[in-house]
Structure 1
Amino acid sequence: MSQKKSNKSKTDDLVVDAVEVQPQTKFNIESYIAHNQKTLSYIVGGLTVIAGLYFGYKYLYLAPKEKEAVTAMYKAEDLFAQDSFAVALENANPEIEGFLSIIDNYSGTKAANTAKYYAGICYLNLGNYEEAINYLNKYSAPDEVTDIMKTGALGDAYADQGDKDKALDLYNKAAKKADNELTTPYYLNKAALLSYVMGKNEDAIKIFEEIFTKYPDTAEAKEAEKYLARLKQ
């Protein structure tokens, strides 16, 4: 009995201690807020200022800049469509802003980002593969399709530069990024043809067979059939 009473006494003491501690904890938090109210006000005020600056930058500066960039770029895009890559790249004509100028003058806009892709393709067609790779790597693809196009274009640049292993890897990556009848057989075909050129006939046969079997209604399937007949002789 005495042991039970002793245990009960200890339990009561713990309950009392717990009850006494709770107000103390509350007091400490309130005390901290009271003593640091000025500092906390500065922090809240600072966050408000940052939010205001971000809003101002995005809607008062960047949005109008975006419209200007889109307007400026349409002439360069028109020249690009006509295969006038050198003129589209640099503003040789005072009335036209080239892609390089748009990248510099409208930094941070979506149009400037798109201009990096255009610049990469221009350099690729002009035979400047180092700059093509440079600008394509700077381009941030906003969706799956443009990411595939970027990867495939990098493959073209490395292939033309002579780095066939790197190009082959990029073609395979571009083909695997999505499964459709447009980009998948297109880049598989590039991978197969490059494998054939590199003397990797078994790899080429495997890829051509994949194209012929999975994408029979495509132009690449017809080409694959011809190469398979040649490689299996």
Structure 2
Amino acid sequence: MSKKNADEAGLEIIETPEALAGQINKAEAFFIKNRKIVLGIVGAILVAIIGFAGYRFYIDGQEGTAQNALASVVYDFEADSLQKALNGSGGNEGLLSIADSYKGTDASNLANFYAGVALLKQGKYDDAISHLKSFSSSDLLIQARAQSLIGDAYFEKNLPADAISYYQKASDYEKNEYFTPVYLMKLALAQEKASKPADAIATYKRVIEEFPLSSEVVNAKKYMGLLEGQVGK
């Protein structure tokens, strides 16, 4: 059928009751023939919609409780009372409980970040990595910070290759003049520890060339010079 004829057929459906009735009859026949399939699809869509609405209602109800619990425990975290912050005190829930009990809420997500930092300070690197990996944020600074902290944990575990991966993510994430040079310095040190001097030199050069006003430039030049002397450049 040509485009013109197709257009005319379309107009016929609109303009003549007989043509419209024919299309309705075809639709009815299709529904009768495929009734179970059609109803099954419609039912699945309704279940998904109702399920999502119910989930959001539940999560919204949990969010207020979780935020209140988090507000209480942050004081302990900021006071460096890490054990109290992690496990709770005086009837208040701790970061570990908030992260686990209110999954899906913003408070649980943030509790994972705080818990990761506290566990890292305590030298519990595997637990710190687990909580920090469970954290995600659209914030330009905090997400990169979380990646860098995961790198720190791997570095302390003497796993420089894994540390390199996360320092790279941190340094590549939404670059800025203040924190990116710090992440690059960590990356270079991990590359040195992983016996990758050429990569480390290249990273130190990035600090010097891309962030010339950074306070990290002095150390970048010093460490790069030492490394170049060692590899004979």
Give the drift of 1:62: 2.1
Whether 1:82 aligns to 2:83 is no
> Hey, what does 1:72 align to over in structure 2?
69
What are the superposed Cα offsets for residues 174-217 of structure 1, whole Å, 9 maximum, x if unpaired?
21222211232111010112233444333322211210121111
TM-score normalised to structure 1 length = 0.76
What are the superposed Cα offsets for residues 35-90 of structure 1, whole Å, 9 maximum, x if unpaired?
7789967875775565345334424x322311111111012222222222221111
Residue 141 of structure 1 contacts residue 150 of structure 1 at CA under 8 Å; is this kept in 2? no
Residue 151 of structure 1 contacts residue 174 of structure 1 at CA under 8 Å; is this kept in 2? yes
> Hey, what does 1:16 align to over in structure 2?
none
Per mean C-alpha deviation after superposition, the further-off stretch among 97-106 and 158-167 is 97-106
Number of residue pairs aligned between Structure 1 and Structure 2: 214
Cα RMSD between the aligned structures? 3.4
> Hey, what does 1:122 align to over in structure 2?
118
Give the drift of 1:126: 0.8
For 1:204, which of 200, 206, 211 is the aligned residue? 200
- Which aligned pairs between 1:67-216 and structure 2 lie closer than 5 A? 67-91=64-88, 93-216=89-212
- Which aligned pairs between 1:13-92 and structure 2 lie closer than 5 A? 27-33=25-31, 47=45, 51-59=49-57, 61-91=58-88
Distance 1:43 1:228, change over 3 A: closer
Q: Percent identity?
A: 32
Distance 1:205 1:28, change over 3 A: closer
TM-score normalised to structure 2 length = 0.76
Distance 1:41 1:158, change over 3 A: closer
> Hey, what does 1:3 align to over in structure 2?
none
SS for the counterpart of 1:219 is: coil
The one-letter code of the counterpart of 1:96 is N
Distance 1:43 1:152, change over 3 A: same
5+ residue gaps, structure 1, are 1-21
Q: Give me the whole-angstrom Cα distance separating, in 1, the residues matched to 2:220 and 2:151.
A: 20
Q: Give me the whole-angstrom Cα distance separating, in 1, the residues matched to 2:44 and 2:165.
A: 48
Distance 1:227 1:42, change over 3 A: closer
Distance 1:170 1:49, change over 3 A: closer
